[in-house]
Structure 1
Amino acid sequence: MPRPALALTAALCFVACDAPEAAGVLYTFTSDAAGFDTHSFYYDTGREVVVFDAQFTEPLAEALVDDIRAHTDSPIRYVVITHPNPDKFNGVGPLRAAGATVVASEATAAAIPGVHAYKRAAFIANGTFDEDSYPPEAVVDLRFTDTLRLDLLGDATIELQVLEHPGVSSTQTVAHIPAAGALIVGDLVHHGVHAWLEGGIVDGAPRPDLSAWSAALDELRDWGDVTVYGGRGASAPMDVAVVSQQDYLVGIDGVVRDYVAGVDDPDAFTGEAAAGHYAAITEAAREAFPERGLDYLITYGVYGFVQSLVR
């Protein structure tokens, strides 16, 4: 895995950019592969900014703050963590330093210490970081249980809701921005790209559940005709995003199960031969989904799903 580097950025305006007071402007900041090609979205009401997900490292979060400052002078009021994965919470420090209140559900806040410890150990062990360079554990300032309405300056609102099903991680918050017709769903949707199949980190181990992920996607339909913004890949209309992701989960489930069934020794997925097997699964996924990008996400993340099949 390459060391973290500064991100590439892109911005999208979903209403007339000369009338931010009407509906605000939603921007997209995207890291490079060293930050796992992760999107952070930020919504500028014209008077303040809300950020969704904080990036994998503090340098990437600093680049995110710089990107915000390049587009608006509005103060950064909140950063919302959609789920407890490190590319969503590791970078909260620079955003807090810029004035943001860190917001997460009680379930996400409770999961962060265990996920942080697990990921810190893994990334130090593989040489991506050393003891001093891995980001500090994220601290949440504002917690909520099921729902939270953020009333913003400029007569805008953002509605946060914890889904019943966990999805890609151990818990999932989505953010509805009514004025922009947007639903921000974290890594629940990877539209047009491969997905991270590790699962949520629970009690020090990955716990993937593709059925629960698909059920979480069904919950998104409650928001109706909105555009879905996932943690990676392109945005898409609700029906397109949900159906495409569910079809992918069915397909990738078959790809991984077929490969695992063809390996006689389950210990092969944890020993010296493991890397070769994960590379082979990646190639099988590439062949099954030639239209999808970011196949390195399979290489690094599929181990969690594989281990759930062999243990």
Structure 2
Amino acid sequence: MKRNSLMALVMGALLASGCAPELIDSELARYTSDANGFDTHSFFYDTGAEVVVFDAQFTEAEARKVLSAIRAKTSNPIRYVVLTHPNPDKFNGAAVFQREGARVVASEATAAAIPAVHAYKKYYFTKVAGMFTDDSYPQQATVDVTFKDSFTLPLEGGAEVELKVLRHPGVTTTQTVAYLPWRKALVVGDLVHFRTHAWLEGGLREGKAVPDLESWKAALDELATWKGATVYGGRGESAPVETVIAEQKQYLDTMRDLVSTYATELGDRKAQLCGDEAGPHHEALTQRAAQAFPQYALPYMVQYSVYGLVNQLACGG
């Protein structure tokens, strides 16, 4: 749907009611899944007239828990679900909110990436990991509203949510951030894992997961545009934007050096990183990451995602 027609729907509802609803400077509330959903945050914002959700969780079951958390706080309609980037823990649960009348909003780049990512992850979780069957894995998400570079959600009552596609990809192939001026809140998805271990798999490029840490760091630098904002990342706690930029970049540099050093230490056994014998090495890298960052939560994130960084740095992938 085009932006103008979407705005017309909202304005029509306002005119029909005869008045604009009162704006509530609501908190940015958070729901966090358990490890089965990769400890993923979904945020939601009640404007006083409607609710905006940021990221839709890995399964519909988790998305329904987000819905329950919202309904425990407000009866206002859920108007939009914003997808910050094309990873399945952000889009798999979208249909739950669509059935409630919400529109799923994503950048053109995110919408274009979803089909390939969905197929890649469905194959892994059904054929390799055996966690789902073809029938039980979530259906491919659909997007209702797309935009190219930036978009301001048409909301009732004067609230603002500004969406911006960063110039550099971060944790995956493209990254959208959402800024809430009333709260000075910047929602960034998995671009930031504040004081938790990060998902290091990388974005899907030509059928392969390929991390790009330099682009990830450049995307983090772009967050400095929102000086004074509080960053709400995909995992971990919220923190000032200046703190987040420095610490996340330092983490990425350390993990790159850690993997490179480990590969060098293996010497003639380096090839083990690139085949069926890689599992124990991923566990060893997870232990080293935990030692390097003893205060960081969720070390399992390294074990299940470091293969992307290993393949890039040690296997020529």
Which secondary structure does the structure 1 equivalent of 2:182 belong to? helix
Which of the numbers 275, 281, 288 marks the counterpart of 2:279?
A: 275
| TM-score, structure 1 normalization | 0.92
Structure 1 counterpart of 2:7? none
Kindly indicate whether residue 46 of structure 2 is the aligned counterpart of residue 32 of structure 1.
Answer: no
Matches within 5 A, 1:188-207: 188-207=191-210
Stretches (4+) displaced over 6 A = none
Instruction: List aligned pairs for 1:233-252, cutoff 5 A.
Output: 233-252=236-255
One-letter amino acid of the counterpart of residue 251, structure 1: T
1:22 positional shift: 4.3
Aligned to 2:94: 92
Q: Tell me which residue corresponds to 2:64.
A: 62
What TM-score results when the alignment is normalised by the length of structure 2?
A: 0.90
The CA deviation at 1:269 is 2.3
Match of 2:260 among 231, 254, 257: 257
Using the alignment, how far apart are the partners of 1:57 and 1:68 within structure 2?
Answer: 17
Task: Give the partner amino acid of 2:309.
Answer: F
**3-state DSSP of counterpart to 1:41:** strand
Question: In the alignment, is residue 296 of structure 1 matched against residue 300 of structure 2?
Answer: yes
Match of 2:119 among 105, 117, 135: 117
2:191 and 2:140 map into 1 onto residues whose CA distance is 23
Residues paired across the two proteins, number:
292
Write the distance in 1 (CA, Å) between the matches of 2:24 and 2:83. Answer: 26
Which residue identity does 2:255 align to in structure 1? I
Counterpart in the other structure of 1:213: 216
Q: Which amino acid aligns with 1:160?
A: L
The aligned residue for residue 190 of structure 2 is 187
User: Shift of residue 252 of structure 1?
Assistant: 1.2
Decide whether the 8 Å contact of 1:114 with 1:203 is kept in 2. Answer: no
Tell me how far apart the structure 1 counterparts of residues 281 and 106 of structure 2 sit (CA, whole Å). 36
Identity over aligned pairs, percent: 54
Unmatched runs of 5 consecutive residues or more in structure 2 = 1-21
Aligned equivalents of 2:157, 2:244: Cα separation in 1: 30
SS of the counterpart of 1:275?
helix
- Answer whether contact 1:25 1:45 (CA < 8 A) is retained: no
Give the alignment partner of residue 178 of structure 1, picking from 178, 181, 196: 181
Checking the alignment, whether the CA contact within 8 Å between 2:194 and 2:237 is kept in structure 1 is yes
Given that 1:114 and 1:202 are in contact with CA atoms closer than 8 Å, whether structure 2 keeps it comes out as no
- Give 1:262 shift: 2.0
Partner of 1:308: 312
Structure label with greater radius of gyration: 2
Residue in structure 2 matched with residue 132 of structure 1 by the alignment? 135
Structure 1, 256-265 or 128-137: larger mean CA deviation: 256-265
Amino acid at match of 2:166: L
Offset at 1:266?
Answer: 4.4
